Chain A
Amino acid sequence: MSYFAGIAAVYWKDVLLEFRTRQSLSTMFTFCLTIVIIFNFVFEPGSPAVLEVSPGVLWAAFTFSGLLGISRSFSFEIDRGGLQGLLLCPVERSTIYFGKVLGNATFMLLIEAVTFPIFVVFYNLPPNMNLLGLVLVFVLGTLGFVAVGTLLSAISANTKAREVLLPVLLFPVAVPVLVATVKSTGPLLRGEDLAQVASWVKLLLAFDLLFLAASSLTFEFIVEE
């Protein structure tokens, strides 16, 4: 099996499993929506501060709910002995990592795609936003968060503390992603040009590339027996 076929196989396994059971996606979506609604109580409805804080609310909702999916992606394999099976496959270890990254990114982006329109309605955002730019930032930001998250989830799932440990490990490391996405989502929501946030996009790209590379190199040390 070629390298990319290996990645695709892991990816399809996860996606198929998820679409059959919908366990992660349904909890992720419900949680995401709950966060959006809860944050609504923090602000005076209709106050001009809403536009100012909405990027932060949006990314808090995305990353917290994304965390649910990411933390499950290895723990359920370990519980059912699935990881042993995957490790027996005659493919490079990093294919498992990339397959999982793509799977987690798919799930998070799905949640984002569904939550965002609801968010726009709830928070009464003006319609003149830069949608294409937002898509780019959402994809890059999600990829970066998931790149580190998937690696650290493989670590935390193998410890005694499990799910409790993952947010403590992940969020400090993911700070650049959070800052960059929040700070570039703001101007894009106001309909500003992508050039306005070019430096943030570059930062996201650098983060994504660095951590996809570093994680794929170190991943084999986490799952080795």
Chain B
Amino acid sequence: MQKNVRLSPADWILWGLTSVAIAVALYAAFLYAPTERTMGDIQRIFYFHVASAWIGFLAFFVVFVASIAYLATKAIKWDILAASSAEIGVVFSTLVLLTGPLWARPVWNTYWTWDPRLTSFLILWLIYIAYLMLRAYAGEEEKSARFAAVFGIIGFLDVPIVYASIRLWRTLHPKPVIAGGGSSGLAPQMLTSLFIALGAFLVLYIALLRLRIRLEKVNRAVRQLHLEINR
């Protein structure tokens, strides 16, 4: 609605906080956390990799809740929230898919393995790519909101079943791809570092969400004006 692209004071504070939090999280990941004994320094990918995954899940959970809220109330703010959170969720899960192979290659000696978590995360990513495509092609605003909400609910309900099915598939046909489990209990400093990274990305998520919501509002205002002009 506003004319300039400038950030509001609240946004400046939020982005300042984000920068500080990320700096602290980087310090924790590289200097505070001890070097993992078997994997070495490469394990330091873990902190931001896992934080991205959790924030991705959070973003999709927000889509799910906002979708239900939209269908229940038909208030546009829920649709705006769902659309914004879905896109950011796709960004964070793309980060997971980018960093995962770079961690897997030195440790497991392969960029990709069809293990339950990797595979179901890939499917999850596909579902939300489809969600964004549905939004892009749905047409009228109100219709698009309803359709996206239904898909946002169905897609999220599917996630645990996808995970269950892929896990069942891999346990029935075990393949010795991964040599030695890395999850032999985390050192307390590692856990702390993970939570710091998680906190930093949570603040980043909120800051991005505010920007994206603002963008979505202008987007809708423009579409509204187009409708008025073409009438």
**B123 touches which of A169, A172, A180 (Cβ 8 Å):** A172
Chain A contact residues, majority secondary structure: helix
Chain A 147-163 interface 0/1 with B at a Cβ cutoff of 8 Å (1 = within): 01001100100111100
Q: How large is the interface on A (under 10, 10 to 19, 20 to 34, 35 or more residues)?
A: 20 to 34
Number of B residues, CB within 8 Å of A = 29
Query: Which stretch, A17-25, A41-49, A99-107, A207-215, touches the partner chain B?
Result: A207-215
A30-B50 Cα distance, complex, nearest whole Å: 47
Comparing B26-34, B40-48, B153-161, the segment that makes contact with chain A is B153-161
- Cα(A27)–Cα(B78), bound, Å: 42
User: Which of A175, A200, A207, A214 is B168 in contact with, Cβ under 8 Å?
Assistant: A200
**Contacting chain B: which of A86-94, A119-127, A216-224?**
A216-224
A57 at the interface (CB under 8 A from B): no
Interface stretch, picked from B52-60, B129-137, B210-218, B221-229, is B129-137
CA distance A180 to B151 in the complex (A): 22
Contact (Cβ within 8 A) A169 B164: no
Given known A169-B151, A211-B154, A218-B153, contact A176–B143 (CB-CB < 8 A): no
Please state if B151 and A221 are interface contacts (CB–CB under 8 Å).
no
User: For the complex, what is the distance from the CA of A170 to the CA of B126, rounded to whole Å?
Assistant: 11
Can you report 23 residue pairs joining A to B where beta carbons are below 8 Å apart?
A152-B151, A155-B134, A159-B134, A160-B138, A161-B137, A165-B133, A168-B133, A169-B133, A169-B151, A175-B158, A175-B162, A179-B168, A179-B169, A200-B168, A203-B165, A203-B168, A211-B154, A214-B157, A218-B154, A221-B71, A221-B146, A221-B150, A222-B150
10 closest cross-chain pairs (CB), A and B: A176-B165, A161-B137, A172-B126, A218-B150, A179-B165, A172-B127, A176-B161, A155-B147, A168-B130, A159-B137
Interface of A with B (CB < 8 Å)? 148, 151-152, 155, 158-161, 165, 168-169, 172-173, 175-176, 179-180, 183, 199-200, 203, 206-207, 210-211, 214-215, 218, 221-222, 224
Give the interface of B toward A (CB within 8 A): 71, 123, 126-127, 130, 133-134, 137-139, 143, 146-147, 149-151, 153-155, 157-158, 161-162, 164-166, 168-169, 172
